[in-house]
Amino acid sequence: MKKNIRIIGVPIDLGQSRRGVDMGPSALRYGGLAAKLSDLGYKIEDAGNINVSVREIYQRPNEKSFVEAVRNIYQQAYELGQQAVEDGFIPIFLGGDHSIAIGTIGGITHDSPAGVIWIDAHGDFNIPETSPNGNIHGMPVAVLLGYGLKQLVNIGRKGAKLKSTEIILIGTRNLDFDERTLLKNSGIKIYTMSEIDKRGLNAVANEAIEKLSHLSRIHVSLDVDVLDPHIAPGVGTPTSGGLTYREAHLLMELLAETKRVASMDVVEINPILDSYNKTGKMGVELVTSLFGQRIL
């Protein structure tokens, strides 16, 4: 496994209506992310943050200038992801809302495909016609598979960035009505919380890893709202019935054992709703588990 990590902040809250996740990169850095990864033997390079406009300069979220602004941010994330891979680094993207994955996953797959483990309470498979609120952070999986706004689908290279066989959803438990139909028809493998409850996290995770065995790299896209709100209160869209502390760490540890994790997103941490950076510290702990931290 590569031992060089490049941290890239994407402090965007333009993909959703609830404010605060733009401070997520700061929460993770304040939680000691770089130092803890350095202690594991990695060389750390912090590339700082992409510059993101504040929401107040836009009158309406759907106006042309707004869509162009978010498109430019995702384009920068795409280019930084592509460059990090070319430079031999493991890029870790700190969100911001989950819409950043439109750019990050596009960038890290620019030259070769990667399997994506999408760990999230939500399906993120809306398109503008089905979204109940128009929030882009509910659309990135659809966009990555080629559905939705063409301005977003065609960021970086044109067209879909993933095939349905290259992404697996884990921890899903909250889907919009029309989104269910879209996901069922997409061909994506989804492990809901109900299935995790029935079969156990170990069985589900190992099966998911096996389904991506045809790909040499894995990108982990971690939305911290996959965790139960009792242990991670500082998220923008909390949903009861999530992963426990140990389930989340076990998932990270099993993915680490593959030696194929080559990039990562950590998103949706909202310090405004948190308590003493509890969720930010939890995010740091999960990242370090993914990159080799063990009990023994």
- Residues with a catalytic annotation lie at 98, 120, 122, 124, 137, 223, 225, 268
- Residue 66's alpha-carbon distances to 6, 35, 119, in angstroms, are 28, 36, 27
| CA separation for the pair 73, 274 (Å, rounded) | 26
Which run of H or E residues covers position 191? Answer: strand 189-192
| CA separation for the pair 282, 276 (Å, rounded) | 11
Structure tokens of 241?
A: 């019935």
Lay out the sheet containing 218-223: strands in order across: 43-49, 4-10, 90-95, 261-267, 218-223, 115-119, 167-172, 189-192
Task: Count CB neighbours of 65 within 10 A.
Answer: 11
| CA separation for the pair 135, 127 (Å, rounded) | 10
| Residue 148 DSSP one-character state | S
> Which region holds residue 205: left if phi is over 0, alpha if psi is between -120 and 50, else beta?
alpha
CB 15, CB 143: distance < 8 Å: no
Closest by alpha carbon to 5, among 292, 231, 204, 232?
292
